[in-house]
Structure 1
Amino acid sequence: MRIENKTMNTTSRSLARLVACSLALGLLQPALADVTSASDTATAEDFAFAKRLSRVFKTVAERREKSVVHITQLRTIQPTDFFGRPVGRGQLQQAGLGSGVIVSSDGVIVTNNHVVRGADKLRVKLSDEREFDAVVLGTDEATDIAVLKVDVGKESLPAADFADSDQLEVGEWVVAIGSPFGLDNSVTQGIISAKGRTVTPRETGVSFEDYIQTDAAINPGNSGGPLLNLEGQIVGINTAIASRTGGYDGIGFCVPGNTVKNVLESIQRTGRVARGYLGIEMSEQSSSGGGVLVKTVVDGSPADEAGLKSGDVITRFQGSSLSLDRLRNAIAAAPAGSKVNIEVSREGETKTLQATLGDLSAAKGYVFIDALGVEVELLPDDIARQVDAKAIVRVASIQETGRAAMSGLRAGDIIVSVDGDGYADIAELQKNISKGNFSRGLRLDIIRPLQGGNSYRRGNIVVQE
């Protein structure tokens, strides 16, 4: 303590001498005035720079405001009497608000899955106040992305294009446009705060490992709107916020534009998201060299055919060095059938291998039934013995906006028969479904596992248009 006081006293005395000398020479006051003038007063150059930066944000807003839409979710509310029995006809009421961005001039729109989930009807309002009913082309729960379409005839709508979101760097300026709290076409700006965030948003309840973090203001209603670079290109879709209040706290999360583009293209091509499959078990490389360690390779998998071996260290995937989580996402995001370059380190040598990715669903034994919007799988033997039925197929996953989901079918349901007809295999099940009359109603007899999965309940569901 004495040393600290001594140092402080010595410094104070030195400063006092300097001030005294400066006052004596009449130099201190003018010098302070000059410093104040130089540091506190903006120059013409400063104003010019600020105006140029402002002009950039203004240009982005003007260029892309017409590409951003306001989405209203409507649900049918059924009136009931005192005893909870339905009375009268149900009425459509507003159940949620969100944003979206036009990505194709013929009316294709990208938004969040949680914006459209559970909707009986969707209304899209353009920047010129015109409204259209929207149909859902497809959804992807894993990334929380949905693709919609509005019918505008031969009109060409102003569409936004995608940038390569992998090239984004922390600190870059970005602009968010959307409808927070229902306020159409609100524009905010910020920077990229981080990349590769793993978050489980309350909006979805599904963990995603590659969010872009931004401090551009995102509030309820912004969901589904675009995050743009200063060229006005889409680098992400605004999805979630971290907040103690439910409003803006400076931390927002966006699905990367490259992921969104892959989901969009897959849905447009097949109506669903076909995720890539490589066929390896991976772990983080423990050595200081970095990379991802290949622990095992599945026989006959795309990785096996490409020449990957247990013990290889993946250093680059499609030219980029990635962490374990980001590599896993990159493989899944790449379309099935696409060719990818994989750089590996093997016994001190660097090798570049090329693999043709498979379909993850097919690798798991799933079969997609388009008429229902479900993926099904063969029932495991142990469960087949428990239910003691001739059913051999259960629902593995379900499109939330498909016919089956809208009729009440769930993942895990076991399909016993279709309109009373049994089946011997998945191919016959598909044939029976294809013969059904959805306008009249297709009856599925099902067995549903109850909580805990140790008991089951039988029933039926009528699937309609």
Structure 2
Amino acid sequence: MNTLRNSSSNTRKRLMATVASVTIAGTIAFGAYATGTMPVLADAVHVQSAQVPGFADLVERVSPAVVSVKVKAKVQPTADNGFNDGFDNLPDNPQLRRFFKEFRGFGDQGGQFGMRPFSHRDHGNGQPRPIAQGSGFFISEDGYLVTNNHVVSEGSDFSVVTNDGKELDAKLIGTDPRTDLAVLKVDGGGNKFTYVDFADDSKVRIGDWVVAVGNPFGLGGTVTAGIVSARGRDIGAGPYDDFIQIDAPVNRGNSGGPTFNLNGQVVGINTAIFSPSGGSVGIAFDIPASTAKQVVQDLMKNGSVQRGWLGVEIQPVTSDIAESLGLKSDKGALVSSAQDGGPGKKAGIVAGDVITQVDGKDVASPKELARMIGAFAPGKSVDVTVWRNGKNETVKVDLGTLPASDKQASNDDNNKQSAPTAKADTLADLGLTVTKAEKGKGLVVTDVDPDSAAADRGVQPGDVITSINSNEVNTTDDVSKAMTDAAKAGRKAVLMQITRDDSNRFVALPVGKG
């Protein structure tokens, strides 16, 4: 009996404990709900992996050296509408006038790249002062900075805006249109500027990371990144084309801005973009640091750049031309004419020579020859090796000073070859019909077979054939003899010198039927 009582008592105790336990748990749960705390959840996703390096440290160091360049245009008489369009004589066509206002030349030079016409401001005299903006960067602590020539070429007053927003007046020190470079100077009032240095761009490799900093569309302090995508680009901008191509977003207003390597050195200066649409498609072209460094030094010292001058007109050596002259490769620069009074002609260089070396350094192309000669100071004496009559000869040339503007061939109608009156003869093997020139020197082309090699190479009626393989030709017999001599020498082509509008050029034509 006692056992049953004890068992019943123990059961009640266990039930009481269970009820108490449930009551406590319920109180705790209710308390958690009442106090607003959330139940403990699993950890958020976090992946431990190698982090891709960024450019923040680089940008932080170089940004103070990069500035926005503001250019105030020269004031011109204004139209009645208050805008300086300069096209009062245009037809009364609103669309035509709007087109010329937008592309009047101040800003985007050539329509590919440049500073953007930013705004107009009235300076109290009722005449607006158009303001354009480009980019630049300090190269010395005392305030010298570099930008593009096309940024400043139309300006009269200049200022720069630093990374911290200060606007400072700047003075134009010098420009070099041939390389599209300019140097400005800012007076810092004794303050020292953060500046950057040029890299050794010979060590720049295709695929290297680069960072461009500048002022696109007036948005100062903009940073974009990409890679070097090509070197040695010739985009037809001038005689010293040797651009670094970068694959990075560069836009109007980036002109004159620097492109940095990961060491914070300037590998190139933004000067052009490939832009079918007018905006960035990710292909930009930079003036190499090696070119900029030398030009900038000259501008800082003299305010201008003086280059050596050979005084010859040159053209590329094609494989056909190399074959006609007996050259082993198509390297070098073919002299189409030596200018009267020029250093080259004085030294004995003549049309038909192929310049293969300068001071013992090989010449690969006309562009390279122009850069090599331009790198010498006027008055420098150089050894020029030419291929002439099947062998190399070396002449010593005292270089002159490159003229401020290139001499242009005259296109005056009075200087053109008069219409021939003599009987025409046919050179069937060349696909040409010719007649004697009026003055007895050379043969005038009167007709070109459209299916001939001569037509393929651009020979036109009116051209004057003056020589073949450096031998003067005044009759069709002279041409036939030159062709026969070339065939006996085992050559597959002859080199024909032609004159057109007072300019000379060479064309290689096959010895066989044209």
Q: Normalised by the size of structure 1, how large is the TM-score?
A: 0.56
Q: Separation in 2 of the partners of 1:169 and 1:323?
A: 22
How many angstroms does 1:270 deviate by?
2.1
Does 2:333 match 1:289? Answer: no
Does 2:294 match 1:262? Answer: yes
| 2:139 partner SS | strand
Q: Separation in 2 of the partners of 1:258 and 1:61?
A: 23
Paired residues of 2:239 and 2:367 also in contact (CA < 8 A): no
Cα gap change, 1:356/1:66 in structure 2, threshold over 3 Å: closer, same or farther?
farther
Q: Separation in 1 of the partners of 2:234 and 2:164?
A: 37
Q: Separation in 2 of the partners of 1:138 and 1:291?
A: 36
Does 2:227 match 1:191? Answer: yes
Residue in 1 that maps onto 2:140: 104
Paired residues of 1:67 and 1:101 also in contact (CA < 8 A): yes
Residue in 2 that maps onto 1:232: 264
Does 2:318 match 1:278? Answer: no
Q: Separation in 1 of the partners of 2:265 and 2:366?
A: 28
Cα gap change, 1:194/1:93 in structure 2, threshold over 3 Å: closer, same or farther?
same
- Per-residue CA deviation, residues 268-301 of structure 1 (Å, 9 max, x unaligned), is 2222221221344544343453421453777997
Residue in 1 that maps onto 2:177: 141
Q: Separation in 2 of the partners of 1:272 and 1:95?
A: 25
Q: Separation in 1 of the partners of 2:392 and 2:60?
A: 48
What amino acid is aligned across from residue 262 of structure 2 in structure 1?
L
Paired residues of 1:316 and 1:344 also in contact (CA < 8 A): no
Residue in 2 that maps onto 1:124: 160
What amino acid is aligned across from residue 72 of structure 1 in structure 2?
K
Moved more, 87-96 or 147-156: 87-96
Paired residues of 1:140 and 1:272 also in contact (CA < 8 A): yes
Paired residues of 2:240 and 2:370 also in contact (CA < 8 A): no
Q: Please show how residues 330-369 of structure 1 align to structure 2 within 5 Å.
A: 330-336=372-378, 357-361=399-403
Q: Separation in 2 of the partners of 1:81 and 1:74?
A: 21
Paired residues of 2:332 and 2:363 also in contact (CA < 8 A): no
How many angstroms does 1:245 deviate by?
2.6
Paired residues of 1:196 and 1:326 also in contact (CA < 8 A): no
Cα gap change, 1:363/1:208 in structure 2, threshold over 3 Å: closer, same or farther?
closer
How many angstroms does 1:316 deviate by?
7.2
Residue in 2 that maps onto 1:250: 282
| 2:59 partner SS | helix
Residue in 2 that maps onto 1:325: 367
Unaligned runs of 5+ in 2: 1-46, 85-121, 323-327, 408-413, 415-514
How many angstroms does 1:110 deviate by?
0.8
Q: Separation in 2 of the partners of 1:180 and 1:188?
A: 10
- Per-residue CA deviation, residues 7-45 of structure 1 (Å, 9 max, x unaligned), is xxxxxxxxxxxxxxxxxxxxxxxxxxxxxxxxxxx984x
Q: Please show how residues 433-452 of structure 1 align to structure 2 within 5 Å.
A: none
Residue in 2 that maps onto 1:218: 250
Cα gap change, 1:344/1:119 in structure 2, threshold over 3 Å: closer, same or farther?
same
Residue in 2 that maps onto 1:420: none
Cα gap change, 1:79/1:252 in structure 2, threshold over 3 Å: closer, same or farther?
same
**Identity rate, percent:** 39
Unaligned runs of 5+ in 1: 1-41, 366-381, 383-465
Q: Separation in 1 of the partners of 2:79 and 2:123?
A: 5
How many angstroms does 1:357 deviate by?
4.3
Q: Separation in 1 of the partners of 2:176 and 2:281?
A: 27
Q: Separation in 2 of the partners of 1:342 and 1:105?
A: 42
Residue in 2 that maps onto 1:170: 206
Q: Separation in 2 of the partners of 1:343 and 1:188?
A: 46
Q: Separation in 2 of the partners of 1:91 and 1:325?
A: 44
How many angstroms does 1:138 deviate by?
1.3
Q: Normalised by the size of structure 2, how large is the TM-score?
A: 0.52
Q: Separation in 1 of the partners of 2:233 and 2:263?
A: 24
Q: Separation in 2 of the partners of 1:330 and 1:345?
A: 18
- Root mean square deviation of aligned Cα: 4.2
Cα gap change, 1:299/1:226 in structure 2, threshold over 3 Å: closer, same or farther?
same
Q: Separation in 2 of the partners of 1:59 and 1:317?
A: 45
How many angstroms does 1:125 deviate by?
0.9
Q: Greater Rg, structure 1 or structure 2?
A: 2
What amino acid is aligned across from residue 64 of structure 2 in structure 1?
K
